[in-house]
Copies of this chain bind each other. A is one copy, B any other.
Amino acid sequence: MPELRKDPIVGRWVIIATERAKRPVEYARDASQPRPGAFCPFCPGNEDKTPHEVLVYRPSPTARDWALRVVPNKFPVLKIEGDLDRRGEGLYDGMNGVGAHEVIIETPAHDRQFADLDDGAIEMVLSAWRDRIVDLRRDTRFRYVMVFKNHGAAAGATLEHTHSQLIALPIVPIAVAAEMTGAQRYWEFKERCVFCDIVRQELDDGRRVIFENGGFVVAAPYAPKFPFETWILPKTHRAAYEEAHQRELGQLAGALRTALRKLSVALDRPPYNFILHTAPFGQGDSLHYHWHIEIMPTLTKVAGFEWGSGFYINPTPPEDAAKFLRDLSI
């Protein structure tokens, strides 16, 4: 059973995922690179090589083939069965590693990258995230669902076939809690949502805006941790992603595809991560939090200084990155 353990100083939880344990020598040779041409468990015909799907979308109601599948991760970092069993050990705090770890297989086509899907296919992925969050938030053990994508080996992807992942957690992750607290502090001071203020100021200013449609702004943040970091912010205030209307998901598909294609052209198909930032369960109607997506191309190495300080050194001013991406035709 994996274990959740809390750092006694800063309160950060970690997952000790013993079932993925390696011997020391195994770390020396990293076998996690995707191998082109290798057997792919996500391709049509290999459905029996993954656990049974928890959600499937088909091209038509009577079709036997699928357009998108969501399956439990075969090597989950948390286990869906069991009680939390919170416990102390001297000054330390732990609990069982209970949670859900699912994979969204975004298309049957092995050779399509996410950024190359059409808006309809991307909207289907966005709907799948919503549908899974709505289902998982009924489980009272869970407090948060983290949705993310690792693209490319340097960004942590171990399979080539395009997919995103979600992890349902029995605690609110420390980075999400810090965002909620910061947004609440701003609200207490200003009585406005900080994200709504950011959207307004960025649209007025324009220097960091990359793309805009009816529902969304794609912009470089004022204080990016990484070069070409790109945020996608909904113009409508809503704390929880799963409350977004279908029409908004359609607009988000266009904004996300545009952002990723521009990054792909500008940076020669870089590895990247993106993360859905959304309110914890039970705070979906918060006035101070505002869901959004953050995209981080993997371009620089994170080293001692960043690890120690939480202080990032970024050699690319966001105004330069935004201008470059804004002017790029795709």
Contacts and interface: CB of A to CB of B under 8 A. Distances in A.
A149 B155 CA distance: 23
A205 B12 contact: no
Interface in A206-227: 221-225, 227
A90 B199 CA distance: 12
A31 interface: no
Nearest to A321: B24
B169 A310 contact: no
A84 interface: no
Interface of A: 3, 5-18, 20-22, 24-25, 27-28, 32, 77, 89-92, 146, 148-150, 154-157, 165, 167, 169, 173-176, 178-179, 182-183, 186, 194-195, 197-198, 201, 205, 221-225, 227-228, 266-268, 270, 273-277, 294, 296-297, 299-305, 307-318, 320-321, 324
A163 to B, nearest CB: 12
B10 A150 contact: no
A12 to B, nearest CB: 6
A307 B296 contact: yes
B22 A224 contact: no
